[in-house]
Amino acid sequence: MPSINMGNLDCVKKRIEEIIKTSPVPEDPIHSKNTLEWLLRLKPDADEALKIAALGHGIERAIRERKVRREAYKGHDDFKTAHALNSARIISEIMEKCEIEKAIIEDVFNLVSQHETGGGDRSNLLGDADAISFFDVNLPLYFTRNTREEVTRRCLWGYRRLAPDLRYLLTRFNYENKDIDALLRDVIAQEGGG
């Protein structure tokens, strides 16, 4: 993999951060950074392409005119596939403008486009970091905006998506809201974990 010019890399990171700050989803800015933190916990020597992918994997939610609408898709997996592909396209455009090498742009595109539904080891690692981050920082705010049924459905989807050898991490999360704690414990028990 070619090396990335640090100035160009800073350009990409800065632009991703600027866009995600505008997201109508309040947890998106912290989720972006938290996904990177989880990626680095899981793989401390992660390459720059993985780091960029972690920061920008959900960027499409911040661009209203390009946002994928869940109601336009029959199933959650179809929606998530479209969301990932759209985010991958947006990040690629940013990287092109910041003059990142084509091979790295393609690598990031593949990582982001496959992170929701699976692909290679690296995109699966990104998906795991994303899933853990949902439970770490997104869940409390998601809980306030959605019905218990929807939150349970989303938690089950996220739990099942997470690599089996990482699911134990979710048992370590404790929330101020005891209803969220109980819901997550129910999901883990329902799936035979814990």
Angle at 154 between CA 142 and CA 21, to 5 degrees: 40
- All residue ranges of the chain with pLDDT < 70 are 1-6, 66, 194
In the chain, the domains with their CATH numbers are 6-190 (1.10.3210)
Residue 136 token pair: 């770490």
Say what the pLDDT of residue 66 is.
Answer: 65
Cβ–Cβ < 8 Å for 159, 127: no
User: For the chain, what is the radius of gyration of the CA atoms?
Assistant: 16
Say what the pLDDT of residue 119 is.
Answer: 84
Concatenated DSSP letters for 150-162?
A: HHHHHHHHHHHHS
Residue 118 token pair: 């699976």
Q: pLDDT of 136-169, one tens digit each?
A: 999 999 999 999 999 999 999 999 999 999 999 9
How far is Cα 40 from Cα 54, in angstroms, rounded to an integer?
A: 10
**DSSP structural state of residue 116:** T
